[in-house]
Amino acid sequence: MDKTETRTTCCYCGVGCGVLISSENGRIVGVRGDPDHPANYGRLCGKGLSLAASAASDSGRALHPEMRMARDVPRLRVGWDQALDAAADRFADIIRRHGPDAVAFYASGQLLTEDYYLFNKLAKGVAGTNNIDTNSRLCMSSAVTAYKMAFGADGPPACYEDLESAGCVLFAGSNMAYAHPVLFRRLEDARRDWSDARWIVVDPRRTDTAAMADLHLQIQPGTDVALFHGMLHHLIWEGLTDAGYIAAHTEGFDALKRMVRDYTPKMAAEICGVRAEDIATAAEWFGRSPASLSLYCMGLNQSSQGTAKNLALINLHLATGQIGRPGSGPFSLTGQPNAMGGREVGGMATMLAAHRDIANPDHRREVAAHWGVPEARLSSRPGLPAVAMFEALARGEIKAVWIVCTNPAHSLPDLALARQALSRAELVVVQDAFAATDTTAFADILLPAASWGEKEGTVTNSERRVSRVRAAVPPPGEARPDGWIAAEFGRRLAARLHPGEADHFAYADAGQVFDEHRALTVGRDLDMGGLDYRLLEEKGPQQWPLPAGQAEGQARRYVDGVFATDNGKARFHAIDYQPPVDKISAHYPFRLITGRLRDQWHGMSRTGRVPGLFSHSPEPELCMHPEDAERRNLCDGDLVRVASKRGQWVLPLKTDGDLMRGCVFAAMHWSRQFLSSGGCNEATIPAVDGLSFQPELKHAAVRVEKAELPWRALAALRHPDLPALQARLAPLLGDMDYAAMALAGRDTLLLRAAGASPRLDWLMRVLDALALFPGPDVLEYRDDGRGALKRVAWDGDRLAWLVFAGGAQDDRDAGERLLQSLLDGEPWRGPRLAAFSPAAAGAARRDRIVCQCKQVGEAAILARLAQGGGVAELQAELGCGMVCGTCAPELARMASGYRQHA
Ligand SMILES: Nc1nc2c(c(=O)[nH]1)N[C@H]1C(S)=C(S)[C@@H](COP(=O)(O)OP(=O)(O)OC[C@H]3O[C@@H](n4cnc5c(=O)[nH]c(N)nc54)[C@H](O)[C@@H]3O)O[C@H]1N2
Ligand SMILES: Nc1nc2c(c(=O)[nH]1)N[C@H]1C(S)=C(S)[C@@H](COP(=O)(O)OP(=O)(O)OC[C@H]3O[C@@H](n4cnc5c(=O)[nH]c(N)nc54)[C@H](O)[C@@H]3O)O[C@H]1N2
Ligand code: SF4
Ligand SMILES: [Mo]
């Protein structure tokens, strides 16, 4: 047997954990944390630990290029040459007829740096357009803009070691316990060693992160600017600012000081809906701590005031000199694994390679010379940022779009607009690792991409650390690495548009692409002149800047107080607070907050293949404060319709005291591959921040009403290849008023649906798709008049699958009980006919799994806590929280909650 271990990184979040992949005969069979990687030292969270399971089956992967010969006909399998030639013909033709800005590229912070570099070169250097933007616009652009405005250059100044030496940690709009779990483990450990460390969390929801804080500022959504100004007011008033630092290293303080005079803690408290004393306390802790670190993410960035929120937070650091020292600094956590790499190569509509500017003619000249293209090829017109790009597609101004490694038909705000854009486009090329996403549905040409564990390159994590990504196995089918696809297309497009030019894509391997990229960084703030594949091979992951001649990269930036601005001084910015764009009204009385679940990743194309990753949040749900629910006569489990001015979607309600009144929360993950609608972005607003163009994905105004859908269906089936089943079922979901697919147990596919009237016709299509037919081991009951159908099948003495549909509550309860029995996998006792008897004593409640690694449920944890003790006893006796630790914050919260209630 040929068993090997390959050193690479996790493909999920920006922590950038190192992983070791075990492979056998060309298949990934296991992963473990890389003990030598400086991001995680061997640790992984639940998502990382399940990577091998996500790669277990090739079902659902995009395996062959496909193309449709006309609109509205199905795509057919074609060869790579045919697909790429056709794409190049169409792009070249559109560019000739309408100019380079009639085409666009929409890329992703999940691409490797080398692939990203090639797409940027292809768009700007070959097609001649700056219309290349990425999903980072939805994610990091406010942070980038603020860093540039304040420090003169992009990139977080702090590093992971600062987590261990921070005395005051300010989490602002970051649910780090869920979104950056392995870094959160490092913080938890550090807090154990430094017991008077203070944690402040700024979040409108009481998240697991907030529950662990010493102070939770549960602000009204969107009011962070007022909060930070209020804190600064207190710092100035109490003499807690660092006048020496301000004078030596900054400019613009006086104007800011004048402006924040109005922002008394009392005035800020009124805007934010928190107590003025708490604002003062936060300022005291921040100002007096020997080292204050802020960790911030989408709660700041995804706002029409995203840049202002970032700048107001940076103001606090500059005013107190809390930057450039161990344990301090404004640390923007990057979301995607290579958000940083994308910023380095300038793969956005508003920047050029290596932190250069489109508007700067010297910068354009440098890049054109490096690429060997005429200077005039590099357009001085900024390209369109994500939302504007899709608006231009919808208006027909952009005619062709190339979408790679992102799923805009799910992740953009206002999905109706995104879908209109993709339907209107003359040509949509989608390059994805998986065949069915909400976006591949619109592809005229679908190109199958190699994915995690199958390709070579690098990524840069949140602390500016570059790690190698390596292939452990060959890609399935005809899938090819993204960089290969970019180069093959780029060469073809160049041959059509600029015949006679030398080959711009002649690279022997990814290392050569990296060398070309790093040469562009020399002499700039992100200088990587001394960083190459050989060094990464010999010494492991490295931080930038790392100029030639230096032995290692710089852990912390701006240690000397010299910034990357023209005069070396950091800049304060005075921007007043503005409320979110979408107004709350009698018609739309709730603020919809959107965000992440612990165990799912974005559109779930990968995490949605692993049953264990559903156990923590088994179904989509809209969370609402219990009093808001009561006033509207809504109960847990009721289906509700959530509507904004733009669109609506249906999902079950969950009452949740972690929310404040007037706010509702929905996870962003559920898409048309799992749900009858596109999910929360049906309702979100495309309004953007005026400086960063990042959309306000977190603050739409919505209405919530009960959805009267009395006819219900439940189907569950055990199967060895769940991704294959998912692919067959997903296309049917959209035809119901409500339908949601999920995975459960170890090997079960679960479907729940609801309709305004009985829909046996639809159910029959579902049963056909899943091959749930009557047979010898199948019991059936059917009453077409009542729209009722029950089918239950056994495999030996165990349940194999079940279908329960109808309008009666008894039937629903019986279905739920049977589902539990199917998931438990216990032998069937008694007569089979009992399966159809009405539930004796109500429905069995499914136990929510808290610890994914050890599959420990809420019930067992509460039962153990009832006997006394805390987290240590849970760990010792139930084994939960001991493997990856991702559930540790929740266990701590349950234990302390129990103490309070007991
Ligand atoms: N499990 C998991 N982890 C992930 C990802 C994933 O999909 N799943 N995605 C990765 C990516 S790309 C990203 S960008 C990060 C995102 O990581 P985070 O930003 O930490 O995650 P979110 O849940 O989007 O939002 C964070 C918090 O912002 C709060 N919030 C909403 N509005 C406001 C506001 O006005 N002010 C403040 N202060 N807070 C507000 C929300 O209540 C939420 O708890 O996660 C990364 N990690
Ligand atoms: N309402 C709301 N909307 C949001 C957010 C929010 O908080 N609220 N968050 C926003 C943020 S921060 C982000 S980052 C975006 C994320 O949104 P998307 O970028 O749309 O999210 P993903 O589902 O990760 O999309 C990645 C796609 O790449 C595919 N893929 C995986 N590996 C590879 C590969 O190696 N090569 C190629 N070519 N394809 C691959 C996957 O199958 C998937 O279709 O969502 C944004 N949208
Ligand atoms: S924290 Fe989890 S998801 Fe993020 S890189 Fe590490 S293992 Fe992957
Ligand atoms: Mo993100």
Ligand 2 in contact with 456 (CB < 6 A)?
A: no
Cα 356 to averaged position of ligand 2 atoms, centre (Å): 26
pLDDT given for residue 842 in this prediction: 46
**Whether residue 386 has pLDDT greater than 70:** yes
Q: Is the peptide bond before 337 cis (omega within 30 degrees of 0)?
A: no
> Using 50, 70 and 90 to split pLDDT, how confident is the model at 403?
very high
Q: Is the pLDDT of residue 902 over 70?
A: no
397: Cβ contacts below 8 Å, ≥ 6 apart: 102
* Dist. CA 147 → ligand 4 center (Å): 17
For position 187, what pLDDT does the model report?
95
Element (H, E) at 82: helix 80-98
Determine whether the shortest distance from the Cβ of 885 to ligand 3 is under 6 A.
no
Whether 738 has a pLDDT exceeding 90, the answer reads yes
Task: Give the separation between CA 392 and CA 400, rounded to whole angstroms.
Answer: 11
Question: What percentage of the chain reaches a pLDDT higher than 90?
Answer: 89
Q: Which atom in ligand 3 lies closest to the alpha carbon of residue 19?
A: 7
Residues belonging to the chain: 902
CA–centroid distance, residue 874 to ligand 3 (Å): 24
Contacts (Cβ under 8 Å, ≥6 apart) of 262: none
Among the listed residues 131, 646, 645, 604, the one whose alpha carbon sits nearest the alpha carbon of residue 390 = 131
Residue whose CB lies within 8 A of the most ligand 1 atoms, among 45, 176, 203, 605, for a mutation test:
203
Q: Is the CB of 179 inside a 6 Å radius of any atom of ligand 1?
A: yes
Distance CA 409, CA 442 (A): 9
Q: Taking residues 755-780, report their average pLDDT.
A: 95
Contact criterion met (CB below 8 Å) for 888 and 188: yes
> What does the alpha-carbon distance between residue 210 and residue 508 come to, in Å, rounded to a whole number?
49
Verify whether ligand 2 is closer than 6 Å to residue 129 (CB atom). no
Q: Which ligand is nearest to the CA of 387?
A: 2
Would you say the CB of residue 603 lies under 6 angstroms from ligand 1? no
Region label for 41, one of left (φ > 0), alpha (ψ between -120 and 50) or beta (otherwise)? left
Quick check: 379 and 128 in contact, CB under 8 A? yes
* pLDDT at residue 841, rounded to an integer: 41
814-834, pLDDT tens digit by residue? 899 899 999 988 898 888 888
Report yes or no: 135 and 143 within 8 Å, Cβ to Cβ.
no
361-378 pLDDT per residue, tens: 999 999 999 999 999 999
Q: Which of ligand 3's atoms lies nearest the C-alpha of 337?
A: 5
Mean pLDDT, to the nearest integer, of 331-342?
95
Instruction: Note the pLDDT of residue 315.
Output: 98
Which residue in 684, 676, 680, 667 sits closest to 613, CA to CA? 667
Q: What's the pLDDT at 901? A: 54
Average pLDDT over every residue of 247-266: 98
pTM for the full predicted model: 0.96
Q: Is the CB of 173 under 6 A from ligand 1?
A: yes
- Give alpha helix (H) positions in 771-881: 809-824, 858-866, 871-878
Alpha carbon distance 384, 377 (integer Å): 17
Among the bound ligands, name the one nearest to the CA of residue 591: 1
Question: Is residue 845 over pLDDT 80?
Answer: no
Of 698, 886, 890, the residue with max ligand 1 atoms within 8 A of its CB, to mutate for a pocket test, comes to 698
Does the structure show a pLDDT above 50 at 640? Answer: yes
Answer yes or no: are the C-beta atoms of 599 and 607 closer than 8 Å. yes
CA of 262 to the centre of ligand 1 (A): 30
- Higher-confidence residue: 148 or 855? 148
Ligand 2 pocket check: which of 10, 110, 111, 134 to mutate, most ligand atoms within 8 Å of Cβ?
110
Question: Which residue's CA is minimally distant from atom 1 of ligand 3?
Answer: 182
Beta-carbon contacts of 556 under 8 Å, excluding residues fewer than 6 positions away, are 157, 158, 159, 162, 324, 325, 326, 329
Would you state the pLDDT for residue 846?
Answer: 67
The chain-wide mean pLDDT, for the chain, equals 95
DSSP 729-776: HHHHHTTSSEEEEEEETTTEEEEEEEESS--HHHHHHHHHHHT----T
Q: In the predicted model, is pLDDT for residue 898 greater than 80?
A: no
Nearest to 552 by CA among 23, 38, 9, 19: 38
User: Cβ(172) to ligand 1 under 6 A?
Assistant: yes
Closest CA to ligand 1's atom 40: 299
For residue 31, the ligand closest to its alpha carbon is: 3
Give Cβ neighbours of residue 195 (< 8 Å, ≥ 6 apart).
none
CA distance 650 to 619: 12
Query: Is 15 close to ligand 3, i.e. is its CB under 6 Å away?
Result: yes
Pairing of strands 427-432, 445-448: parallel
Please tell me the number of the ligand nearest to residue 603's CA.
Answer: 2
For residue 432, the surrounding DSSP H or E stretch is strand 427-432
Assess whether the C-beta atom of 644 lies below 6 angstroms from ligand 2: no
Give yes or no for residue 335 CB within 6 A of ligand 2. yes
Which pLDDT belongs to residue 208?
A: 97
Residue 472 scores a pLDDT above 50: yes
User: Ligand 4 mean position to 460 CA, how many Å?
Assistant: 14
Query: Region 774-803: what's the mean pLDDT?
Result: 93
**Which residues are CB-neighbours of 74 under 8 A, at least 6 positions away?**
68
Tokens at 248, concatenated: 């030596």
Mutate to test the pocket of ligand 2, among 340, 422, 431, 432 (most ligand atoms within 8 A of CB): 432
Q: Is the CB of 178 under 6 A from ligand 1?
A: yes
Beta bridge partners of 198: 168
